[in-house]
Amino acid sequence: MHTLKSGLNEAAGWLFYLILLMLLALALPRTIFDPDSKNFIFLIGIVGIWRYSMGAMHFLRGTLFLYVVYPYYRRKLRKLGSAADPSQVFLLVTSFRIDALTTSMVYRSVIQEAIACGYPTTVVCSIVELSDELLIKSQWSKLNPPERVKLDFVRIPGTGKRDGLAYGFRAISRQLPNADAVVAVVDGDTVLAEGVVKKTVPWFKLFPNVGGLTTNEFCEVRGSYIMSEWHKLRFAQRHINMCSMALSKRVLTMTGRMSVFRASVVTDPEFITDVESDFLEHWRLGRFQFLTGDDKSSWFSLMRLGYDTFYVPDAAINTVEHPPEKSFIKASRKLMFRWYGNNLRQNSRALRLGPKRMGWFTTLVLFDQRVSMWTCLLGLAVAIIASFKYSLAFLLMYLLWIGITRLILTLLLSVSGHRIGPAYPLILYYNQIVGALVKIYVFFRLDQQSWTRQNTKLDRGLASFTQRFNTWSSRAMTFSASSVFIAALLALV
């Protein structure tokens, strides 16, 4: 009954969206749809050539990897058989301030995977609170693992996930893992799907230079319908982009929810330092530590140390998402601020590694991350200016264009294997505009960081003059860049 009701609601949603598009089209003059007219609607798409071409490349590359290249790799892996098995597996789980129900689900799935994978496995629990230790031991006794599965606790102060990972990595180092051992890093709100360990750990034998790989994500959101759809859309887009970058073995993040590394990587003192104490020397903001973004730090460390990165699309995990606010707009802005900040803090450093190390396509993608905050606003800004200067029809044309193209993009996302919903076209556009504004804001304030779950912020202990200088210089640069952007568009229109 619930499935039927959900299906009817989705059908009604799609119908409502299509009716809105038709009403918008009827409100426009007929010349808009005449290819010989200077007002032909698709001319407005010229301003989006760069963005649409990047999206098209990601879609084609992602589809090629998902349906052609990855199945070929998988056949090669199967031919290796047991020769691809690691000698040891470590499952490192970091937990802090996660509700007991989620923690119980996570550790149950981790212990079950340790039992089912068949490899000698050690579950390493990097925890802060005694209650988590008691809960884990309760699950351990219920599941009663065989002797080849061991349990190890690492108790740390509640100083952040980076410290939790570093303590865990050092605990694994003390066990002197074999050269072909593998370490999976699992977040405290990630439930492992059945068989995920066996699907991920053998790839390191097939690709000797891959230092880390990550997995496909699905989610259960403890929040509103729109918040749930927003997260699910993000994971569908992520899947296509990850597949695209995996074609070059340059996946751009080692997702903190679950990534797998060679043990020789996570026991490397350089890698541990990169994750634990990553920092940026900024020409204006000075030197500051990274509070969030351990997934980006681990990725950059792999790139700097000369490793490749990979993506396993049929190895799935399920994350339990707890929005930081009840309001969708507040919660999405907070999450975007954290994600885009992590991204931009690593971007310039990665670009400096150069095309020889990163590859030309990856360099192009990194460059696009820097300019997309402006190109994403270009169409809307031009449409608003033209509507004031000439006619409101230009804004209506733009809205119709957005409605049609976002519908097409949503339908294309269905190839990812993730479910699509009628709210996706609107959420896509929300992400484009609000995401671009958040990126611009955070680009000039890279030193501002905060966790959404722990609600902790980076305190640099700066002198009052330096703090005021950073604040006002960030505001001045944001205002100057925005003014130049608007002035250029006014001159263009």
Condensed to tens digits (0 to 9), the pLDDT of residues 143-181 reads: 999 999 999 999 988 778 899 999 999 999 999 999 899
For residue 209, being part of any structural domain is answered with yes
Between CA 437 and CA 333 the distance in angstroms is 10
For residue 416, being part of any structural domain is answered with no
Residue 208: pLDDT above 90? yes
Position 167 scores a pLDDT of 94
Position 358 scores a pLDDT of 95
Average pLDDT over residues 347-374: 93
Angle at 130 between CA 126 and CA 132, to 5 degrees: 60
pLDDT band at 346; cut points 50, 70, 90: very high
Condensed to tens digits (0 to 9), the pLDDT of residues 438-474 reads: 999 999 999 888 766 655 565 656 778 888 888 899 9
Instruction: Give 217-220 contacts, CB < 8 A, sequence gap 24+.
Output: 217/255, 217/257, 217/316, 217/317, 217/318, 217/319, 218/316, 218/317, 218/318, 218/319, 218/418, 219/318, 219/319, 219/320, 219/321, 220/318, 220/319, 220/320, 220/321
Position 16 scores a pLDDT of 84
3-state secondary structure 153-201: EEECCCCCHHHHHHHHHHHHHHCCCCCCCEEEEEECCEEECCCHHHHHC
Residue 5: pLDDT above 60? yes
Least confident segment among 47-61, 198-212, 372-386: 47-61
For residue 380, being part of any structural domain is answered with no
Position 142 scores a pLDDT of 94
Position 425 scores a pLDDT of 94
For residue 347, being part of any structural domain is answered with no
Q: Give the number of domains in the chain.
A: 1
Between CA 370 and CA 384 the distance in angstroms is 24
For residue 145, being part of any structural domain is answered with yes
163's CB contacts (< 8 A; 6+ apart) are 156, 157, 276
Average pLDDT over residues 416-426: 90
CB neighbour class for 236 (10 Å; exposed up to 12, middle 13-18, buried from 19): buried
Q: What are phi and psi for residue 105, nearest 5 degrees?
A: -60, -40
Residue 34: pLDDT above 70? no
For residue 63, being part of any structural domain is answered with no
Give me the CATH number covering residue 259: 3.90.550.10
CB neighbour class for 304 (10 Å; exposed up to 12, middle 13-18, buried from 19): middle
pTM score of the predicted model = 0.90
Angular region, 81: left φ>0, alpha ψ -120 to 50, beta rest = left
For residue 144, being part of any structural domain is answered with yes
For residue 4, being part of any structural domain is answered with no
Condensed to tens digits (0 to 9), the pLDDT of residues 210-234 reads: 999 999 999 999 889 999 999 999 9
For residue 303, the enclosing domain spans 83-327
Position 44 scores a pLDDT of 45
Position 40 scores a pLDDT of 47
Token pair in block for residue 135: 């809960």
Condensed to tens digits (0 to 9), the pLDDT of residues 286-335 reads: 888 888 889 999 999 999 999 999 999 999 999 988 898 999 999 999 99
